[in-house]
Amino acid sequence: MIQTPKQSPVYCPGHTRPVVDICYSGETDCGHLFITASKDGKAILRQGDTGDWIGTFLGHKGAVWSCVLDKHATKAATGAADFTAKVWDANSGSELLSITQDHIVRCVDLSKTDSGAKLLTANNWKKISVYDLNAPKSPISVFGGHEQIIRRLLWCGEDKLALSISEDKTIR
């Protein structure tokens, strides 16, 4: 007989405004982790199975719209209303770098095959940028094409492709 897995709700206080994004990690040395982004300007890292607080990433000066963990949950990235994308050390909580863009950063994703060495961002000017985190001064590629705000983007195909979805009803 097949048994349904037991599920328990997890209550995770900490944000003071609506939570707008979440990312659940793969298996790590300390189990699964997840990160949440909120309009309160914070991203919070938690233990995946219990929801226990691990740390809060502080440094944005506006709503945090997007968050992601790299494959091994050693790095986190966030995108925010303060026109920045930030990359964080997920173990210490320290900011590794901040990339300023020309508008609100709505979406971020870290590459999966190279321990998060590349960052995808999408901003309210409907531009997607690719950054090499070893030389992040300027993007290595910039793409346009969407006519409205980009709501989600992600690396796929072993980080050889990027997918984006937009309010213009398209997937690119």
* pLDDT tens string 67-122: 999 989 999 999 999 999 999 999 999 999 999 999 999 999 999 888 779 999 99
Domain CATH number, residue 89: 2.130.10.10
* pLDDT tops 80 at residue 6: no
Residues present in the chain in total: 172
Could you tell me the residue range of the domain that residue 113 belongs to? 19-166
User: Does 9 fall in a domain?
Assistant: no
| pLDDT at residue 1, rounded to an integer | 66
Asked whether residue 124 is domain-assigned, the answer is yes
Residue 29: predicted pLDDT:
87
Confidence at residue 115, expressed as pLDDT on a 0 to 100 scale = 77
Q: What is the pLDDT of residue 35?
A: 98
- Residue 26 — very low, low, confident or very high, per pLDDT cuts 50/70/90? confident
Whether 48 maps to a domain, the answer reads yes
In a domain, 4, yes or no: no
pLDDT at 45: 97
**Cα–Cα distances in angstroms (integers) from residue 152 to residues 104, 124, 145, 166, in the given order:** 14, 12, 14, 7
Q: Could you give the CA distance from residue 40 to residue 56 in angstroms, rounded to a whole number?
A: 12
How far apart CA 52 and CA 66 sit, in angstroms, is: 21
Q: Does any domain span residue 115? A: yes
For residues 97 and 136, the answer to whether their CB atoms sit within 8 Å is: yes
pLDDT at 108: 98
Answer whether residue 60 is part of any domain.
yes
Q: Give a yes or no: residue 12 inside a domain.
A: no
The pTM is what? 0.91
Would 6 be classed as within a structural domain? no
Rounded to the nearest integer, the mean pLDDT of the chain is 92
pLDDT band at 7 (very low <50, low <70, confident <90, very high): confident
What token pair was written down for 42? Answer: 């914070």
Q: What is the tally of structural domains in the chain? A: 1
Mean pLDDT value of segment 122-139: 92
Q: Percent of the chain at pLDDT above 70?
A: 99
